[in-house]
Structure 1
Amino acid sequence: MKQSRLYATSVAIGGRAVLLMGPSGSGKSDLALRLIDRGADLVSDDYTVLEARDGTLFATAPDTIAGKIEVRGIGIIEMPRVHDIAVALVVCLDGVVERMPLRPKAITVAGVDLPEITLNAFEESAAIKVELALHRATKGL
């Protein structure tokens, strides 16, 4: 089983991981904090280790940053985390947000196809939108 490292913050909601992808300053950690405030668990901040097993992608934190999240203006904060969680959704934080996407988007990460949405991390409703998209992506599971 091959591991790879991806520049993404990840959280777990209802036992499924969400990868928050975007460049520095795009709101990955900020959105993760809002999701954690709504009941999500931290998987990894900034970089996520991914491993594909039997067609499922699993996420965990690198040992050096496990249980830590960067809070801009405050610094590095320690918090509980979960690991080895199946990834169910990718959220792109640097792209054009379509008002009403005509068809679902997908992205291939480490050889695994995953649903993808594009959001503005700094919108007040971003955390709720992530939860809704995750529900839609996993309703058949």
Structure 2
Amino acid sequence: MTAAQPLHATAVAQWRPGIGWRAILISGPSGAGKSDLALRLIGRGWRLVADDYVHVFASGEALYATAPDTIRGRIEARGLGIIGACVQGVVRLVLAVELTDPTPERLPDPDERRLAGRCVPLLRLRGFEASAVEKVAAAIAPL
């Protein structure tokens, strides 16, 4: 197992019957919509892993995400403040989502992000698009 690597990002997890909890890591510049996208996913039944900073570590061939103790169970709702959220502990990380300002390519080639020495598929999208939640759900479906 490699040591946890703190990343400026947000992570949320979804329960998948027969598979268990699977997390996505949402990254992007400040104000890109990381917490906003996470809140919309939480509204669809996902659980918060960590907001603002995420510890990512490898164990075996897999990647895992967890919250630093100091921020566990809290998420920023811009315009409202810091609020509590139902949290999921250590979760296997299966997808990286990078929030971009320019419009992503219509039909991009598959890409990946390397974290803690392992690679996960990478999805680039605009976080505030109404369809962002559905795009994340479609991207995680086969994982």
Given candidates 70, 79, 82, the residue that maps to 1:64 is: 70
Given candidates 105, 123, 132, the residue that maps to 1:98 is: 105
| Matching of residues 9-20 of structure 1 within 5 Å | 9-14=10-15, 15-20=21-26
| Matching of residues 1-141 of structure 1 within 5 Å | 1=1, 2-14=3-15, 15-94=21-100, 96=102, 97-101=104-108, 103-136=109-142, 138=143
Of the structure 1 ranges 87-96 and 15-24, higher mean CA displacement relative to structure 2 is found in 87-96
Unaligned ranges ≥5, structure 1: none
**Equivalent position amino acid for 1:74 in 2:** L
SS in 1 for 2:35: helix
Rounded Cα–Cα distance in structure 2 between residues aligned with 1:80 and 1:38: 13
Shift of 1:44: 0.3
**Count of matched residue pairs:** 136
Rounded Cα–Cα distance in structure 1 between residues aligned with 2:111 and 2:132: 18
Rounded Cα–Cα distance in structure 2 between residues aligned with 1:95 and 1:115: 20
TM-score by structure 2 length?
0.92
Shift of 1:94: 2.2
Displaced runs of 4 or more, over 4 A: none
Of the structure 1 ranges 90-99 and 40-49, higher mean CA displacement relative to structure 2 is found in 90-99
Q: Percent identity?
A: 48
Unaligned ranges ≥5, structure 2: 16-20
Deviations 1:15-51, CA, capped at 9 Å, x for gaps: 1000000011000000000000011100000110111
- Root-mean-square deviation over aligned CA pairs: 1.0
SS in 1 for 2:5: strand
* 8 A contact 2:35–2:77 mirrored in 1: yes
SS in 2 for 1:64: helix
SS in 1 for 2:69: coil
